[in-house]
Structure 1
Amino acid sequence: MIIPFSVYNMLVPEINSELILVITTEVDIEHAKILAEKILKRQLAACISFQSIQSQYWWRNSLKTSDEIQLLIKTKRNLLEKLHALVKEIHTYDTPEFIFLKVSSDISYENWILDSVIKA
């Protein structure tokens, strides 16, 4: 059975989640794994997923197309500044994508993320 979104909103009222989903890209899977490993070893995220994508974008007044690896980084709000600093420090791009969204999940997944990262 599919629950309509409006009904789901009534079942799950306002959620005060600390979860943040960060989106960035890297030039290839090798660099994506290096970045992910450094983030995870510092416990700035609980999980990082990879997917191959193709991006089109403006760069230095020219339209570009690139194959990239997108990283979906699951973390918590109070680690965002440290995570951003690390990404800027070690990323291969001059201007790395760093998009962050406040997200929610079921409570067991949220607790797993919160238990898996440093207690800042």
Structure 2
Amino acid sequence: MADVSSTVPSIVVYVTVPNKEEGRKLAQSIIKEKLAGCVNQVPGIESTYWWKDKIETDSEELLIIKTRQSLLEALTAHVKANHPYEVPEVIALPISGGSHDYLKWLKESTRE
């Protein structure tokens, strides 16, 4: 049986960004601050949403951020402070299982 004490409750966080450059800049700042162990940048998504009384559709990229649950508040504040959108998307989903080695690495790659 895996040693659960070597991992921490972890989450996946979705953040959309307007383009590759903004995504890369935000991803690097998140990793530099040790707010996440890994950020995947997925190009080519199209988002349709309600904004300021009308339907908008834009090309975006999606950041998939893996981190500790305990860092969500700090990560959210960091995204808000470094994101070009007035209301950036920050949505967290729990990681309910997975590779013990990966989850251990995630713990070791992030700040307390």
Calculate the TM-score normalised by the size of structure 1.
0.83
Matched, 1:110 2:103: yes
**Percent identity at matched positions?**
37
Count the aligned residue pairs.
104
Residue of structure 1 in register with 2:79 after alignment: 87
Pick one of 41, 50, 68 that aligns with 1:76: 68
Q: Which runs of 5+ in 1 are unaligned?
A: 1-15
Cα deviation 1:22-63 (Å, max 9, x = unaligned): 001000000000000110000000000011210000110111
Residue of structure 1 in register with 2:47 after alignment: 55
Residue of structure 2 in register with 1:25 after alignment: 16
The 4+ residue runs of structure 1 with deviation greater than 4 A are none
Does the 8 Å contact 2:41/2:62 carry over to 1? yes
CA distance in 2, matches of 1:55, 1:89: 22
CA distance in 1, matches of 2:74, 2:51: 27
RMSD (Å), alpha carbons: 1.2
Calculate the TM-score normalised by the size of structure 2.
0.89
